[in-house]
Amino acid sequence: MNTPEIIPLDLTSSEFYINREQSLLEFNVRVLAQALDESLPLLERLNYLCISCSNLDEFYEVRVASLLQMAEMDNSAISIDGLSIREQLEKISFKAHELVDEQYRVLNDVLIPCMKAENIRFLRRDNWSDSQKAWLEKYFVEELMPILSPVGLDSAHPFPRILNKSLNFIISLTGKDAFGRNSGRAILQAPRALPRIIQIPTSETDSGPYDFVFLSSIIHAFVSELFNGMTVQGCYQFRVTRNSDLFVDDDAIDDLMLAVQGELAMRNYGDEVRLEIDANCQEETVNFLLARFELTVDRLFLVNGPVNLNRLQTLYNMVDRNDLKFQPFKPGLPAALSRNKDIFACIRKQDILLHHPYESFMPVVDFIRQAAADPDVLAIKQTLYRTGLDSPIVAALIKAARADKEVTVVIELRARFDEKDNIGLAAKLQEAAAHVVYGVVGYKTHAKMCLVIRKEGNVLRNYVHLGTGNYHPKTARLYTDYGLFSCEKELCEDVRRVFMQLTSLGKVTKLNKLLQSPFTLHHGLLKMIDKEIEQAKKGKQAQIIMKVNAVVEEQTIQALYRAAQAGVKIKLIVRGICCLRPGIPGVSENIEVRSIVGRFLEHSRVYAFYNGGDWAIYAASADLMNRNMFRRVEVCFPITDKKLGERILRDLKANLNDNSQAWILQNNGQYLRAEPGDQPLYQVQSELLKSFCQK
């Protein structure tokens, strides 16, 4: 009897993939779910609501805008999951409308009542007392009216240019103005400098210091003051979201900074991609705005509340209630650094691993500060992607350059939404005589690395810091990331060679330990996956654990499918997008995908391979995305110190044990929140805080 031929599965089949855009929207669903978690402090829950709204803004500004542009160029394109652009946009519209409806339900039916119970109130116009109304009218006349500029629409007053994501009002009018005109409509733009939430003075409230009124409510109440002699029939807030992705033609530019500056000037006026309007707006006015912005109804959102919920985040600092916020903590410090303030001496003794935010980011700042002040330091080389305007790291680099040290900074001008800040930082560094380059044309420099070259006796010794996150002290308290200090010779030489490549544009000779995109990282990861496959086929134990922000790149997904088919046990900890579909019979039954959503943004990238029992562990700046593998300069560095590798492995396994903040990806692309069941409650972020931090 002949054995039937086993036909291998086509791992490129669309049924094996989750749509990227739907996966990203699912992440926002998980973020919004935090706003409903009664175990979290109330003002933190409000923050989660705001974050979900901010994420959706960026989703439309970048992802939806990109799909719309693709549709104009080639509407026949099909994504890896088999959807056409039109089908993707239809699914996005449905899911996004569901998400926005839920955001406003959470605000109006859950959070506002909870805040009211804590004497934090948003006063509606129909609940203002006479004295409050008088105070607010005075505020309008004295603080708002002088800077508001309504525009009546007629042939001499065309529809104004509407800034991206700005608060605007469309006003229906009857009657004639002083010149006998009757346009019937006016547009009022609220300057961005105006606060969106106004705090009522305690003298005007009977419930304590935390009574607030939305700016939109004040404008609605007193807008008639702007149209003397005319009657306001309706006043409705609206907001337009625009394409905010910069386009710089790398093949047609002579000066990247000037090109980026030119594009930045137009960011606020890109193509319209979404329109939000007050749900009470008249249908005629809604249709007028849709026609004006050339938008179809699928990109219209009628909302029951402020059109920009992001601005509610300002409430966090306006309310002095520590009982409604996360308990503050003091990040820990590795014992080696707490005993010896000479960071170079510490690194000479051993590699040092930092796990932010549980451990302080200050050693990274001190590393560069000490290098700037040390007369034996000859040169500092640094990459900067996002670092913040008032960066102590940039200040240290400027100090080093002014002290006649050789300072070279590779600064990425096209870090999305940080372009303006980075241009300013580049100018400051150049003024201090630092060498500033903007990376490689056509590739974003996303690697996180710093090299210090120090004269010690008759030899030059190199010290490096490599990280998974940005050189940004503020986000280092909000994002989970790893950073490694080392003076290991081959690793430092690799970093030096990469810097030479970025500045001189010469070819890099073979690297000793680093994997680098767009050259060796993708191939190196596939090779390590294949090694686990070989072990599994021999009947030996084989495991892969990866912790990343996104899993999108098709060849890597297919390699993981092959590994799962061979019997490799695969655990993926993926914060955001995951196009891999777990639990497919015969394909991905050995793959589990989970997402951790908690107090801190999970940002670290770690790749761990069982490697026959001698775990090979790498940390990286790169996610499993096409752009990270092929269109960016990234570095992936090995954790060769056994103790440090074991520590990262413990952290990974702690993530896998989380039964409270973890969400498990299902076969259908949706996520279910992990439940403790009969097991004790375990939250990985809380446990790591206990391990490292002082409260």
Q: Report the distance separating Cα 468 and Cα 524, nearest Å.
A: 18
Closest by CA to 68, choosing from 310, 303, 294, is: 294
Q: Which amino acid is at 118?
A: E
Q: Which amino acid is at 447?
A: A
326 touches 353 (CB < 8 A): no
Q: Which two tokens stand for residue 158?
A: 């065309």
Q: Is 672 exposed, middle or buried (0-12, 13-18, 19+ CB in 10 A)?
A: exposed
608 touches 546 (CB < 8 A): yes
Which residues touch 541 (CB under 8 Å, ≥6 apart)? 535, 610, 613
Q: Report the distance separating Cα 48 and Cα 31, nearest Å.
A: 6
The 10 Å Cβ neighbour count of residue 454 is 19
Q: Report the distance separating Cα 519 and Cα 635, nearest Å.
A: 10
156: which DSSP letter?
Answer: T
Buried b (16+ CB within 10 A) or exposed e, 62-88: bbbbebbeebeeeeeeebbbebebeeb
465 is catalytic: no
Q: Report the distance separating Cα 308 and Cα 682, nearest Å.
A: 35
Residue with tokens 């900890």: 573
Catalytic residue among 446, 465, 522, 603: 446
Query: Collapsing DSSP states into helix, strand and coil, what is residue 577?
Result: coil
303 touches 100 (CB < 8 A): yes
Residues in the chain: 695
Q: Which amino acid is at 207?
A: S
- The string of DSSP codes covering 223-275 is GGGGSTTSEEEEEEEEEEEE-------GGG-S-HHHHHHHHHHHHTTS-EEEE
Closest by CA to 470, choosing from 343, 605, 627, 621, is: 621
Q: Report the distance separating Cα 557 and Cα 571, nearest Å.
A: 13
> Catalytic positions, please?
446
